[in-house]
Amino acid sequence: MHMIQSEGLRLHVRADGPEQAPALLLLNSLGTDLRMWDAVAADLARDFRVIRFDKPGHGLSESAPRPFGMEMLARHALAVLDIFDVRCADILGLSIGGQIAMALAEAAPERVGRLVLSNTAARIGSPEMWTARITALEAGGLAAMADDILERWFPAAWRAAHPAQLAGWRAMLSRCDLQSYLGCCEALAAADQTRTCRDLATQVLTIAGGADLATPPEVVAATAALIEGAETALIENAGHLPCVDAPAQYLALLRSFLLNR
């Protein structure tokens, strides 16, 4: 277990793979911790120094007081790179992780190599949607909304075929610190990365899941259209977390893009 300090918070971080290999920073989705990447991290660590961490209030990381924004989350990501002496990394961000990656690229473009924006968008949802979500969560907590969230993450066929795994994801989600989760919701409500996407000057791959209810393919495609020269990919039967429900296809896309140097 490796803990670091970032802006007064203890964050849980992990690095796998050869220390001299190119760095790859993985930024996970809202409601998940760094274990979200377990199905793909070991394979990627054959060729990369794979670095990942738990956002505030997720996994083993300390909770963060509200309010906070995407900029703070990006600073935490930079602090993680700093602790491993990484000056420039390829970055893979999924959902809010993609938003954090965009904010990082805006704040410190020299720290970003290739960029994979997976199941994410320049704007995820609307402020009104997030306000309603926050109100419901404040009233009932994460456990009460877990089934609804999991339905947006995973296709019905995958949920039916993997009940034990689904229970694990429900437990991971339900154990998040509610205030930190709500802070992330507020950050998403405020974030509009349209200008950032238009200004990106690095190689970008966007990945969408055909069965993703949280960031549907057309939403991901609209973001890709903002980015000059962006490559696009669609995994037809994948949901919001293709690293979980379609890891082989996901890895093939990542390897093709990241290793084509």
pLDDT given for residue 202 in this prediction: 97
- pLDDT at 261 (0 to 100): 64
Mean pLDDT score, 100-107: 98
pLDDT tens per residue, range 112-153 = 999 999 999 999 999 999 999 999 999 999 999 999 999 999
DSSP-derived letter for residue 114 is E
Are 10 and 61 a contacting pair, CB within 8 Å?
Answer: yes
| DSSP H helical ranges for the chain | 38-44, 70-83, 96-107, 127-153, 156-161, 163-174, 178-190, 194-199, 217-224, 242-245, 247-258
User: What tens digit of pLDDT does each residue of 52-81 get?
Assistant: 999 999 999 999 999 999 999 999 999 999
CA quadruple 47, 49, 55, 57: dihedral sign: positive
Count of structural domains within the chain: 1
Distance, in Å, from the CA atom of 173 to the CA atom of 175, rounded to the nearest integer, reads 6
Q: Which tens digits make up the pLDDT trace of 169-186? A: 999 999 999 999 999 999
pLDDT at 236 > cutoff 70: yes
How large is the average pLDDT for residues 24-40?
98
Pairwise CA distance, residues 208 & 32, whole Å: 18
Mean pLDDT on 156-179: 97
- From CA 182, how far away is CA 15, in angstroms rounded? 28
Domain extent, residue 250, equals: 2-258
Q: Which contacts (CB < 8 Å, 24+ apart) does range 157-165 have? A: 157/237, 158/239, 158/245, 165/244
- Mean pLDDT, the chain, rounded, equals 97
Side chain identity, residue 50:
V
Looking up tokens 């990106």 gives: 200
What pLDDT digit, counting tens, does each position of 184-218 carry?
Answer: 999 999 999 999 999 999 999 999 999 999 999 99
* CATH code of the domain containing 240: 3.40.50.1820
Q: How far apart are the first and last CA of the chain?
A: 33
Distance CA 146, CA 30 (A): 12
